[in-house]
Structure 1
């Protein structure tokens, strides 16, 4: 029988990171008190630090700024794809008119 993976929402992850960063609690103490694995807590702290440094972290973004950046990057990719399609279509129709 397989164990189901637990899912944590972004607000809980940010609260855990704040407990470590602002209150100075240890990863071990926070993970034990909240019944979360220490490796997950370390990963959230690392991701938060990366996001604060302006780098995209791994996984779902924690901060609202990074969430917005990811959304805009996805929209940018979509729009670039749309532009490529329009370029090809206009080239095709320009050839047909000649």
Structure 2
């Protein structure tokens, strides 16, 4: 599957949105499927400058979700360790 960089996608979207050219014409000129161009336009309209983050990169809101999930997992692990330590200390107090 052919990959297109962010700049290519932005230029394709601009041809439709700024130059008011039709999606089928632009898609044919660029050698991409019409649905692909519609998808890029939708992504751009939803995320503006954050659209097309690139391979391995996430949109800012997804990056924040990933960070928070990791933080929750770390805190859960710390809690489990503290509970075990509390149980051990309580056992030795008797």
> Do Structure 1 and Structure 2 share a fold, with TM-score over 0.5?
yes
Q: Which residue of 2 aligns with 1:83?
A: 75
**Residue of 67, 82, 88 corresponding to 1:96:** 88
For the aligned residue pairs, the C-alpha RMSD in angstroms reads 2.1
Partners of 1:50 and 1:10 in 2: how far apart? 15
Larger relative contact order, structure 1 or 2 (CA cutoff 8 Å, min sep 6):
2
Does the alignment pair 1:10 with 2:6?
A: yes
Please tell me whether residue 62 in structure 1 is matched to residue 52 in structure 2: yes
C-alpha displacement at 1:40, in angstroms?
0.5
Task: Give, in whole Å, the separation in 1 of the partners of 2:21 and 2:3.
Answer: 23
Post-superposition Cα deviations, 1:7-58, rounded to whole Å, max 9, x if no partner, equal 1122221221122112211111110111111110011112222325xxxxxx
Give me the TM-score of the superposition, normalised by structure 2: 0.75
Question: How far off its partner does 1:74 sit?
Answer: 1.4
Unpaired runs of at least 5, structure 1: 53-60
Aligned length: 85
| Residue 21, structure 1, aligned to residue 17, structure 2 | yes
Distance between the aligned counterparts of 1:77 and 1:15, measured in 2? Answer: 35
